[in-house]
Amino acid sequence: MTRTPSTETETGGLLPDRDLAELERLNPAGLTAAQVVELFTSRGVKLSEATFRKYVQLGLLPRSKRVGRKGKHQGSMGLYPPGVVRRVNAIKRMMAEGYAIEEIQKSFLRFKDEIEALERGLKDLFTGFERELKQPEFDAARRKTLSRDLEDAKKAAGELVGRIETLERHIVVPLERAARARAFSSGASGGAGDLL
């Protein structure tokens, strides 16, 4: 079952950043497409599994990873990284602001994948460090010092990723605004509403 934070969501059913972070923390293994769809539809946001799959096909969302179910002959299920909720939230927000699907694709394909890859890489690196620190070669005092250093590095990495995301927004938002103005002034069709 998808665990969700208990705080209230923003107007329109979209999730604020604090809820997104909590949701990612509570579901580190990921979520199924059905869980993501339910999360949004329960908040009144229009999203179907077909639309979710279309977002994946368009490259707006990452592909799922097959994970075996516990128990004999249970098969496997596709899990999407917990950050997929953040992506759907951003897509829906941009759609509400009138962005065409092509503009959303360009925005997501610019830097989002790189930033998410950086976050995953750092998480994997820190997990590896934590695993290694449990080895018997480290005495208690050295382990404590290194654990403190590791926590400091995690905090610095989180701050760095946050600064990179802010920088990305400052660079991309004016470009998106200009593209949006061009799209609306030219009477272009193919709006994001086609994928609701």
Q: What per-residue confidence (pLDDT) applies to 7?
A: 35
Number of domains in the chain: 2
Of 43, 78, 96, the residue at which a domain comes to its end is: 96
Structure tokens at 2: 């998808």
Residue 115 and residue 31 share a domain? no
Instruction: Name the domain boundary from 67, 96, 125.
Output: 96
Position 160 confidence tier, pLDDT thresholds 50, 70, 90: very high
Confidence of residue 14 (pLDDT cuts 50, 70, 90): confident
27 and 118 share one domain:
no
| 15-19, 129-133, 139-143, 178-182: range with lowest mean pLDDT | 178-182
- The whole-model pTM stands at 0.54
Helix axes 49-57, 84-96, angle to 10 degrees: 100
Inform me whether the pLDDT recorded for 8 exceeds 80.
no
100-151: per-residue pLDDT in tens? 888 888 776 667 778 888 988 999 999 999 999 999 999 999 999 999 999 9
Going by C-alpha positions, the residue among 121, 50, 94, 119 that lies closest to residue 193 is 94
Is there a single domain that holds both residue 161 and residue 178?
Answer: yes
pLDDT for the residue numbered 114: 83
Q: Percent of the chain scored above 70 by pLDDT?
A: 76
Residues 90 and 106 in one domain: no
37 and 20 housed in the same domain? yes
Residues 71-97 pLDDT 10s: 555 666 889 988 899 889 989 988 888
Residues 4 and 82 in one domain: yes
190, two tokens: 């193919």
Are both 103 and 191 inside the same structural domain?
yes
Residues 39 and 64 in one domain: yes
Residues 61 and 108 placed together within one structural domain of the fold: no
- In the DSSP assignment, the letter for residue 27 is -
| Integer angstrom CA distances of residue 156 from 125, 151, 161, 163, 173 | 14, 9, 9, 10, 25
Domain membership of residue 20 as a residue range: 1-96
Report the SS3 class of residue 29.
Answer: coil
119 and 81, same domain (yes or no):
no
More confident residue, 28 or 194: 28
